[in-house]
Chain A
């Protein structure tokens, strides 16, 4: 794919690496070279990759904590309003607002909302998209089997389509290629 005759918009570059250790080293090189819009693809999460890429911690725990408080607080409020305000019913002389008895439902809904927060928060944070530049490569499908890739997107300010392939080769990339968006309307060569 690296021949100059291909038509289409260049949206990134991709290089394959042999094993997790080489990917980890490559990630450090890409980070040190000043790239920002790059990613390291692997069949499983690699221990130490966040540091190698210079990634910050995920903010997902805050979302989940917020949702848990929302779910639990909402549940307590709901039970209070339904049992102590809107429909008072004397049962065995128990108080209308008996927080002890309201605990299981409060806890249950806190967990439920936290779980929704974890899943939908994750879907939001992973920048889920079905047409990511990497999918333009025929080789890329191997990432979910046994291959390790570094991708650099063309949106990166340092991205230079002349130099990026050489750079990826110098850090040990195999099967280096440019990612071309196969879209006729966008064809600019």
Chain B
């Protein structure tokens, strides 16, 4: 199996375990994924939906109270004018990034293992960005003026300030959401056609017929479809890097010690991918357990994801270290104070939670056994997201709470409404996710079929192409089928 068997042998990629276990046929894949949707919803789904929807109701209650009463209900005040709303916004946008990385970058890198997880990772992106968009929408205080964020002609004859990173954010995040939605929908089209063709009632047939654009799977359609998919992957790839970079400029272009740092863009992007993969892993572990999809979302997938988490976690750790190094090396007393205050000031507890969860904990996964231990991965992925939430908290709050005049110094505390809004946003996220796994195929059916050995014409005996094999088509399964 390993690459270095023999000197005489040409280098081969180490032979992986199969992407999908149990060697299913095309029909098995359809039946398996859609069987979940066609069966009655399990009791657990109803209970989860009830719990999630109740939490989402809490969110809307909190938002209603905020609109009625004003942002004074939150703990924000001078000097901490940016509180949990911004922390939550950055947290949720960051989570979305793993979905785009899986659907776009791993597609361009021909990582075939992504096919089992890309659909629900993309859905996770959409729902996370929806949760993120709630916060800038409500945190402005005067919600009836949110349209000022957009360059719309208005009675004041004013235009937004395009030199402000806050406006860049509006464009970056709304573009991100739209592109993710389009990419997700394009991926769904062939699967919606499968649902149309399996539908028993006329109304379902009509709905899915419409949604699938009358898909007929002809190569004259596939050839444009594949190019569209590739291009969408290509244009989503810079978004993975640009969106969180723009978010980081909200901080980095200010002159606040602790924020005014040039490493923020790559540091934020690495953190985003890190937290996003943790969220994909949490959801994947629950979903595959509930629906028994362990042969589609395999331990191998988990191991690959946790390796990406280790990499990005160490990048984040490197950024933490660099911040300290620069604070010392620059000789800037304000920067040095901000960083010292971060690690040893009143919020040291938050800082060290962040370091433990994001830097120390992932080091456990150097051990292969732990990379394949599902309970450890589950707890680990939850803790990583705890750590990443605290990272944003640390950046936002510790940089603000002790500003230039010691008379202004304060210890920021959230109110019950801050907490309710944040917890409620998980309700919204989980409600949307539960509805998604109930009504749409959570595994990309046609893409999974495409990575089965049987999908490659070169794997059939007697086909004239079998002599002029492509490296990419060689899965070591020639003639296994047919």
Contacts and interface: CB of A to CB of B under 8 A. Distances in A.
A119 B197 contact: no
A107 B210 CA distance: 33
Interface residues of B, number: 78
A40 B220 CA distance: 8
Interface in B210-262: 210, 213-228, 231-232, 235-236, 238-239, 242, 246, 249
A45 to B, nearest CB: 4
B179 A111 contact: yes
B457 A20 contact: yes
B76 to A, nearest CB: 25
A42 B222 contact: yes
Interface in B152-182: 157-165, 167-168, 171-172, 175, 178-179, 182
Contact of B463 (A24, A43, A129, A141): A24
Interface string A121-142: 1110111111110110000111
Contacts of A107: 238, 242
Contacts of B227: 57-58, 60-61, 122
Interface centre among A24, A25, A115 (most CB of B within 10 A): A115
Interface centre among B168, B172, B231 (most CB of A within 10 A): B231
Nearest to B466: A21
Given A91-B163, A141-B197, A115 B455 contact: no
Contact of A108 (B160, B171, B186, B223): B171
Contacts of B186: 118-119, 122
B194 A145 contact: yes
Contact of A126 (B213, B458, B463): B213
Contact of B482 (A21, A53, A112): A21
A89 B167 CA distance: 15
B213 A123 contact: yes
A50 B238 CA distance: 29
Contact of B455 (A44, A61, A87, A134): A44
Contact of A132 (B167, B214, B463): B214
B185 A119 contact: yes
Contact of B226 (A45, A104, A134): A45
B129 interface: no
Interface in B128-168: 151, 157-165, 167-168
A108 B249 CA distance: 15
Q: Interface SS of chain B: helix, strand, loop or mixed? A: helix
B190 interface: yes
A54 B36 CA distance: 39
A158 to B, nearest CB: 17
A26 B232 CA distance: 31
A78 to B, nearest CB: 7
Nearest to B26: A146
Interface stretch (A1-9, A94-102, A159-167, A177-185): A94-102
Given A25-B463, A144-B190, A55 B219 contact: yes
B408 interface: no
A146 B27 contact: yes
Of B160, B221, B481, most A-chain CB atoms within 10 Å: B221
Contacts of A41: 216-219
A143 B445 CA distance: 13
Nearest to A65: B231
Contact of B190 (A43, A83, A128): A43
B414 interface: no
A47 B219 CA distance: 10
Contact of B194 (A115, A126, A144): A144
A21 B194 CA distance: 22
A48 interface: yes
A86 B159 contact: yes
B449 A43 contact: yes
Given A21-B460, A119-B228, A48 B455 contact: no
B235 A111 contact: yes
B95 to A, nearest CB: 20
Contacts of B220: 39, 53, 55, 126-127
A128 to B, nearest CB: 5
Given A21-B460, A44-B455, A143 B209 contact: no
Interface of A: 18-25, 27, 39-50, 53, 55, 57-58, 60-61, 64, 68, 78-79, 82-83, 86-87, 89, 91, 94, 98, 101-102, 104-105, 107-109, 111-112, 114-116, 118-119, 121-123, 125-132, 134-135, 140-146, 151
Given A19-B481, A60-B228, A121-B228, 10 more contacts: A21-B459, A43-B446, A49-B219, A50-B219, A60-B224, A64-B231, A89-B161, A126-B221, A143-B197, A145-B194
Interface of B: 25-27, 30, 151, 157-165, 167-168, 171-172, 175, 178-179, 182-183, 185-186, 190, 193-194, 196-198, 209-210, 213-228, 231-232, 235-236, 238-239, 242, 246, 249, 445-447, 449-450, 454-460, 462-465, 470, 473, 481-482
Shortest beta-carbon contacts, A-B, top 9: A39-B218, A21-B460, A146-B26, A141-B197, A122-B228, A104-B168, A82-B159, A44-B450, A108-B171
